[in-house]
């Protein structure tokens, strides 16, 4: 293996059929790369990746195992073959020439995946061609330096935007630079997946923020020239919420991307996210929460408002027209939170406004 060093890719040479070298001879095009996963070979998990293929002679990233592809049929699997002997995963990996991606993007939670972690054994085919390429720690594109372990913004087909973590950099020369990336998913891209609780969900959920992405162990080979630039992706550790509801390294008030949840392509499973409120649903960081100092429970303001609206409607159901009750939670610094309830009596167009204390949805005590 060649010594790792810095590389500056040059445009051209990977433009597809008809590319030529400086001498006018037909340029050597990169093969169609295929990533094989050991868990698929052994039948562990649901085979979510199905050996994703990538061609670095394409002008965009492939994401062939991502959204839009039919979800693989799940099957029951076991780590023990018919003989009853447990499979030595590491030994099988060494025999097959697999490499372990020690995925650093793991949520900091006591309950992450029922299946384990995002770490995944993989190999790139054709393996002899891949291993013959020079390996680098960094590369420079449009005057910007990128390094292994960093995250990049990648342009796909049309106006599609992808983000990924650089796992490896390989090149034949400055015109044939390939990146092994591990994708982070935008919530809208999620196929049908299982939550930690076992529910099937698809696409963006109510708790996903506008700048949220999900870590994954889905890998692809892409050409270096498909990179738009570097991107910063923060990790939001929900366990670090302090007494005031701010986060140590969280996304509140930030416009750049962040992640807190992960998607395991091996099993089609999402990692656990912290539950809030009496409704037992996660927090959307784009929406405010209110905390009960008595029972220490965080409440969604939407749930507090909905509960007040239902209570007021039930209390005066004969007086108010259907759908004419509105509850708004007001929180001002240094003052107790209050609910402003606006209602309209039957036969009247004039709204009446009243104020009331906010009560916890769990312990029923006033929130100060």
Quick: pLDDT tens for 23-61: 444 445 678 899 989 888 887 765 444 456 665 544 344
Co-location of 77 and 158 in the same domain: yes
266-287 residues labelled b (16+ CB within 10 A) or e (exposed):
bbbbbbbbbebbeeebbbbbee
Q: Is residue 228 part of a domain?
A: yes
Is 1 within the bounds of a domain? no
pLDDT of residue 91: 83
133 within a domain of the structure (yes/no) = yes
322 within some domain: yes
More confident residue, 321 or 362: 362
Residues 248 and 313 in one domain: no
For Cα atoms 115, 208, 158, give the angle at the middle one, nearest 5 degrees.
Answer: 95
- pLDDT recorded at residue 306: 85
225 DSSP assignment: G
| Confidence bin at 273 (pLDDT 50/70/90) | confident
The distance in angstroms from the start CA to the end CA of the chain is 65
Instruction: Please state, in angstroms and rounded to a whole number, the distance separating the CA atoms of residues 287 and 302.
Output: 9
Q: What is the pTM of this model?
A: 0.74
Residue 363: inside a domain: no
Predicted confidence (pLDDT) at residue 359 exceeds the cutoff of 50: yes
Given 270, 289, 315, the domain boundary residue is 270
Give the largest Cα separation in the chain, rounded.
88
Q: Residue holding tokens 């991606």?
A: 101
Q: Classify each residue of 214-233 as buried b or exposed e, where b means 16 or more C-beta atoms within 10 Å of its C-beta.
A: bbbbbbbbbbbbbbeeebeb
Tell me the mean pLDDT in the region 199-223.
92
Residues 192 and 230 in one domain: yes
Domain range spanning residue 317?
A: 298-357
Q: Is residue 53 in some structural domain?
A: yes
CA nearest 248: which of 261, 256, 236?
236
What is the chain's mean pLDDT, rounded? 75
- Give me the half-sphere count of Cα atoms (radius 13 Å) on the Cβ side of residue 150: 19
Mean pLDDT score, 233-261? 65
Q: Give the CATH number of the domain where residue 217 resides.
A: 2.30.30.490
Residues 211 and 327 grouped into a single domain: no
The length of the chain, given as a count of residues: 368
- 250 inside domain: yes
Is 342 a domain residue? yes
Domain count for the chain: 2
Residue 173 has pLDDT above 80, yes or no: yes
pLDDT at 229: 94
Q: Are 267 and 191 in contact (CB under 8 A)?
A: no
**What pLDDT, in 10s, does the model give residues 117-135?**
788 889 999 999 999 999 9
């Amino acid at each position: 293996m060649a010594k790792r060093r810095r590389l500056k890719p040059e445009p051209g040479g990977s433009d597809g059929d008809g590319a030529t070298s400086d001498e006018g001879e037909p340029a050597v095009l990169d093969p169609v790369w295929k990533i094989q996963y050991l868990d698929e070979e052994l039948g562990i998990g649901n085979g979510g990746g199905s050996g994703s293929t990538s061609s670095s002679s394409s002008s965009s990233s492939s994401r062939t195992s991502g959204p839009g592809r039919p979800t693989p049929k799940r099957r029951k699997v076991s780590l023990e073959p018919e003989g009853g002997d447990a499979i030595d995963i590491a030994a099988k990996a060494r025999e097959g020439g697999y490499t372990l991606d020690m995925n650093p993007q793991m949520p900091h939670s006591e309950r992450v995946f029922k299946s384990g972690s995002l770490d995944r054994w993989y190999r790139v085919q054709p393996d002899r061609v891949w291993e013959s390429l020079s390996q680098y720690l960094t590369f420079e594109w449009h005057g910007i330096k990128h390094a292994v372990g960093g995250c990049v913004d990648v342009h796909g087909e049309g106006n599609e935007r992808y983000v990924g973590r650089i796992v490896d950099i390989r090149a034949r020369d400055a015109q044939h630079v390939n990146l092994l990336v591990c994708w982070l998913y935008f919530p809208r891209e999620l196929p049908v997946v299982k939550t930690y609780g076992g529910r099937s969900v698809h696409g963006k959920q109510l708790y996903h923020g506008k700048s949220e992405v999900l870590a994954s162990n889905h890998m692809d080979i892409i050409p270096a020239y498909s990179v738009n630039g570097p991107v910063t992706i923060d990790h939001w550790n929900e366990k670090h919420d302090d007494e005031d509801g701010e986060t140590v390294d969280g996304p509140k008030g930030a416009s750049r991307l962040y992640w807190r949840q992960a998607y395991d392509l091996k099993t089609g499973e999402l990692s656990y996210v912290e539950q809030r409120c009496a409704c037992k649903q996660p927090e959307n960081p784009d929406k405010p929460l209110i905390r009960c100092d008595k029972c220490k429970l965080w409440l969604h303001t939407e749930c507090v408002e909905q509960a007040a609206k239902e209570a007021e409607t039930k209390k005066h159901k004969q007086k108010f027209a259907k759908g004419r009750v509105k509850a708004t939670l007001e929180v001002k610094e240094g003052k107790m939170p209050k609910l402003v309830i606006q209602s309209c009596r039957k036969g009247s167009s004039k709204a009446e406004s009243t104020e009331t204390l906010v009560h916890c949805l769990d312990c029923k005590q006033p929130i100060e």
